[in-house]
């Protein structure tokens, strides 16, 4: 059985979708091929890298990618992680599955350093749960 191709999408591919890609690689690299992308791209948020390092996931090799028709056609499953992407992401094929699991963007949180880091940690943990949910729904190899 070939691995299922999962594409995680968020607005800027700087935090949530990058976290999801890292978690999916960690939790099910033998089950899925995984990529992430965004409608617009920015550098990966340094706080994203920091909070993922706290749980032993190094994201230094991940690169932000702008979503394009080639990526959409590549995917067997598209997981949208914010409402903006859900509204703007076309399905390229009737065979492509799509799941919408929105999360707020921790980059929008204001306050002191602790409050901001806590928001990133909460997002990290929520992303992990969403990835686990997605992986549990996928067909298991024989």
Tell me the mean pLDDT per 10 residues along the chain, length 142: 89 95 92 93 94 96 92 93 82 81 94 95 98 89 60
- Nearest Cα to 7, choosing from 72, 100, 68, 69? 72
Per CATH, the homologous superfamily of domain 4-137 is: Response regulator (3.40.50.2300)
Q: Are 6 and 75 in contact (CB under 8 A)?
A: yes
Q: Which residue has the tokens 């702008």?
A: 66
- Nearest Cα to 20, choosing from 124, 138, 137? 124
pLDDT tens, 22-53? 999 999 878 899 999 999 889 999 999 999 99
Q: Are 138 and 4 in contact (CB under 8 A)?
A: yes
Task: Kindly list the domain boundaries of the chain, sorted by start residue.
Answer: 4-137
């Amino acid at each position: 059985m070939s691995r299922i191709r999962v594409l995680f999408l968020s607005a800027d591919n700087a935090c949530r979708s990058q976290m999801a890609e890292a978690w999916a690689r960690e939790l099910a690299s033998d089950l899925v091929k995984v990529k992430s992308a965004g409608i617009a791209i920015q550098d990966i948020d340094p706080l994203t890298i920091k909070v993922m390092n706290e749980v032993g996931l190094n994201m230094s090799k991940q690169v932000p990618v702008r979503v394009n028709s080639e990526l959409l056609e590549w995917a067997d499953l598209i997981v949208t992680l914010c409402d903006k992407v859900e509204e703007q992401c076309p399905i390229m094929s009737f065979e492509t599955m799509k799941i919408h699991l929105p999360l707020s963007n921790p980059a929008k949180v204001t306050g002191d350093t602790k409050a901001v880091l806590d928001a990133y940690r909460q997002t990290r943990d929520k992303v992990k749960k969403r990835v686990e949910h997605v992986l549990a729904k996928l067909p298991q190899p024989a």
